Structure 1
Amino acid sequence: MRNALDWVSRPRGNAVLEGKPVGTASASPSPHGAAWAQHSLHRVLTVIGADVVREELAVSHAFRQFDHVSRLADGELRARLGELVERSYATPTPGA
């Protein structure tokens, strides 16, 4: 992930994610790992110039949250993920 973010951050001033709306979601088997990852990811995306939407989704205890076909089992979590994706698309891109 770090290498991918490094590549999309170049060239400065014309990077792929610069000024683009980005929503973040993470999952972790631990109680807090997803939230900690979100915090770090948000900082990196902000530094490389992405327009990070305020809403985010951090799923803890991921091994309990997905069904046998890797779908979020909790309807509320699925709805929150859908809202995050919609907000990411709805965020205006500067200059567009």
Structure 2
Amino acid sequence: MADVKILVLVGSLRAASLNRQLAEVAAESAPAGVSLQLFDRLGELPFYNEDVDGEGVAEPVQALRLAAEEADAALVVTPEYNGSIPGVLKNAIDWLSRPFGNGALKGKPLAVVGTALGQYGGVWGHDETRKSFGIAGPRVIEDVKLSVPAKVFDGKHPRENADVVQQVREVVEKLVAEVS
């Protein structure tokens, strides 16, 4: 199989976010021939507005769409905000869903994982993220799930938890297996 490129979107803007750290673990533990590329500019995207979507769309939107087009798959690593999708991630989904029916991730495999403070590790937010992306065009891999309660990390980087590192690696491997 040729090298596989996975676009990584992190639903938290905080530099020290546990979800960003999980994304780092995914990149560090990826199998040979697989590269994970974090799109680190979600905070720069303007709110989606169809009136400004077209020729001359903002440069961060162009960069996001290009990164999505060049990727073979996508991994979304996100917290849960108030039981749902963080606004910055929902905005990215809206930009990636256009043009409707032919967005940059159309048909590409996508998995959603992450961590959150609640006892279920963000399950509701992850389910909502999968639902929204499923409507937006990617092929959401429903059986690839990982929602880790933040208390598991006990203030340490996720890479220090061997079980989590293994689970993240398995997610990446399953996602790669879905690339055709």
What is the TM-score with the length of structure 2 in the denominator?
A: 0.46
Q: How many residues align?
A: 90
Please, which of 76, 96, 108 is the counterpart of residue 8 of structure 1? 96
SS at match of 1:79: helix
Counterpart check, 1:26 vs 2:114: yes
Check whether the contact 1:8–1:16 (CA below 8 A) recurs between aligned residues: yes
Kindly name which structure, 1 or 2, has the bigger radius of gyration based on alpha carbons.
Answer: 2
- List 4+ stretches of structure 1 deviating above 6 A: none
Tell me how far 1:33 sits from its aligned partner: 5.0
Deviations 1:30-54 (A, max 9, x none): 1135111111111111111211112
Q: In the TM superposition, what are the counterparts of 1:31-46 in structure 2 within 5 Å? A: 31-32=119-120, 34-46=122-134
How many angstroms does 1:63 deviate by?
4.4
> Percent of pairs identical after alignment?
27
Are residues 33 and 59 of structure 1, via their aligned partners in 2, closer, same or farther at CA, if it must alter by over 3 Å?
closer
Verify: 1:92 aligned to 2:179, yes or no.
yes
Q: Is the 8 A contact 2:114 2:148 kept in 1?
A: yes
Q: Take 1:91 and 1:12, find their aligned partners in 2: how far apart are those partners?
A: 23
Residue 140 of structure 2 aligns to a residue in which SS? Answer: strand
| Maintained 8 Å contact 1:26/1:37 | no
Q: Could you tell me which runs of 5 or more consecutive residues in structure 2 were left unpaired when the two chains were aligned.
A: 1-88
